[in-house]
Amino acid sequence: MTAIWCDRCGVARAEGDHTACAAARELEPPRYCPDCRRRMKVQVLPTGWSASCVEHGTLSPR
The whole model's pTM is what?
0.85
pLDDT at residue number 62: 60
Who contacts 61 (Cβ-Cβ below 8 Å, separation ≥6)? 29, 48, 49
Tell me the pLDDT tens digit for each residue of 49-61: 999 999 999 987 7
Tell me the pLDDT tens digit for each residue of 2-34: 789 999 999 999 998 999 999 999 999 999 999
- Position 1 confidence tier, pLDDT thresholds 50, 70, 90: low
Domain ranges of the chain: 1-62
pLDDT at residue number 60: 76
DSSP-based helix, strand, coil % in the chain, nearest 5: 10, 30, 60
How far lies 15's CA from each of 11, 23, 47, in Å? 7, 17, 33
